[in-house]
Structure 1
Amino acid sequence: MTGALEAVRARRSWSKVTDEAPTHIELLTLVSAAGRVADHSSLRPWRLIELRGADRERLAQAIAKAEGDKSPSSKPMRAPLLIAVVASYRKSEKVPRWEQEAVASGVAHVLSLLLDEAGWGVIWRTGRYTRSKPVAKAHGLEKNEELLGWLYVGGKPVRSRPGRRKGVEARRHVSRMPRAKKQD
């Protein structure tokens, strides 16, 4: 099998990461590759927002506002780099909204695999505030856009034992189409 299969099998979410992060140039290289996901009509209905330093502090304030808290949220400070995943819907007769969101999600997932394979710890985080006005405003979202969540990226900490996600019991998720019923 290929290296892609091994990369997918080795992937795991890293809820805790170190203060190291890929550079902007390293990120652009990986995004260029991730953007090759299946994309009906090549609409490219997505964009990514890179949040570092003070950007994370602005997000912390926006989350607090969305949650009705007085103190900034500590969530955006859990990683040195956050990558906001935005579905940027395009008008199309052929490609429905759900399919465009699937493309944006696909880019995020492939990017998370590429980051992991490059040695970075990654976890995709969401929350009810992803669709809130204060958070959308902080990200500069347009009317045709929705925030799907953030990839939190940082260095992989040293572990005493490696964590592995259990494999999927594929037979439970793959079936055949039902047979056609005989017509009377």
Structure 2
Amino acid sequence: MLAMDLLLKRRSCPRLATPAPDSCELETILQAGLRAPDHGSLQPWRFIVAQGDGLLRLGDIYYQAMQEQGADEAALQKAQNMPQRAPVVISVIASVTKEHKVPELEQVISAGCCVHAMQMAAQAMGYGGVWRTGDLCYNATVEQGLGLAENESLVGFLYIGTPVTEPSAPKTLLVDDFVSHL
């Protein structure tokens, strides 16, 4: 896929199935994330890949988080099954170096750029992806279950797999609606 087409036609694919990227393709996707813009060369990120039994473990973490919030059985089951919406889920974590000349916000944004780069790499390989956040992304029990340190926070979960349906064409946006000039 041509780079410009990839960027201009980017779409999230919420319904994903197998086949998933193989180990070599997954390595390439992760390498794309490692090329994100990184002021100060801090590499303020890390990734946790869940596939196979790892998806079940991630579901258990979601279940526990919802259980602690007092969710009903239907919500608990929904949370536990959420990772099964794709054959690969990459938890992207901002690992912030506090009191550094590079502001913390820039470090978190850099980790967010990793998600975008990995989604674009997956799409370039013919896979689909969707960057999910939601309440569980900002939940202390999920953070603890994933082993996050005090200086870390989740920026999202990147679900990757083969699109079940063809994504709809992107909505046409007019540059003039978003840009002003000095």
By the TM > 0.5 criterion, same fold?
yes
Give the percent of matched residue pairs that are identical in Structure 1 and Structure 2.
Answer: 34
Within-5 A mapping of 1:83-98 = 83-98=90-105
- 1:103-146 Cα offsets, whole Å, 9 max, x none, are 00011101101101110010111111212222112211111110
Equivalent position to 1:173, from 160, 178, 181: 178
- CA shift for structure 1 position 92: 4.8
Q: Which piece of structure 1 moves more, 98-107 or 166-175?
A: 166-175
Gaps of 5+ in 1: 178-184
Does residue 67 (structure 1) correspond to residue 66 (structure 2)? The answer is yes
Distance verdict in 2 for CA 1:158–1:65, change over 3 Å: closer
Equivalent residue letter for 1:127:
G
Within-5 A mapping of 1:126-165 = 126-157=133-164, 159=166, 163-165=168-170
**Structure of greater Rg:** 1
Does residue 108 (structure 1) correspond to residue 115 (structure 2)? The answer is yes
Conserved 8 A contact 1:52-1:80 = yes
Give the match for residue 3 of structure 1.
Answer: 2
Q: Give the distance between the partners of 2:81 and 2:136, measured in 1 at CA.
A: 14
Conserved 8 A contact 2:49-2:90 = yes
TM norm structure 1: 0.86
Q: Give the distance between the partners of 2:99 and 2:41, measured in 1 at CA.
A: 11
Q: Give the distance between the partners of 1:93 and 1:146, measured in 2 at CA.
A: 17
Give the match for residue 120 of structure 1.
Answer: 127
Conserved 8 A contact 1:58-1:138 = no
- CA shift for structure 1 position 167: 2.6
Conserved 8 A contact 1:45-1:87 = yes
Equivalent residue letter for 1:14:
C
Does residue 30 (structure 1) correspond to residue 29 (structure 2)? The answer is yes
Q: Give the distance between the partners of 2:172 and 2:66, measured in 1 at CA.
A: 36
- 1:60-107 Cα offsets, whole Å, 9 max, x none, are 122122223454421111111001110011135321110001100011
TM norm structure 2: 0.87
Q: Give the distance between the partners of 2:160 and 2:81, measured in 1 at CA.
A: 15
Equivalent residue letter for 2:39:
H
Gaps of 5+ in 2: none
Pairwise CA RMSD: 1.8
Q: Give the distance between the partners of 2:178 and 2:169, measured in 1 at CA.
A: 21
Q: Give the distance between the partners of 1:92 and 1:110, measured in 2 at CA.
A: 27
Instruction: Give the number of the structure whose residues are more often helix, by fraction.
Output: 2
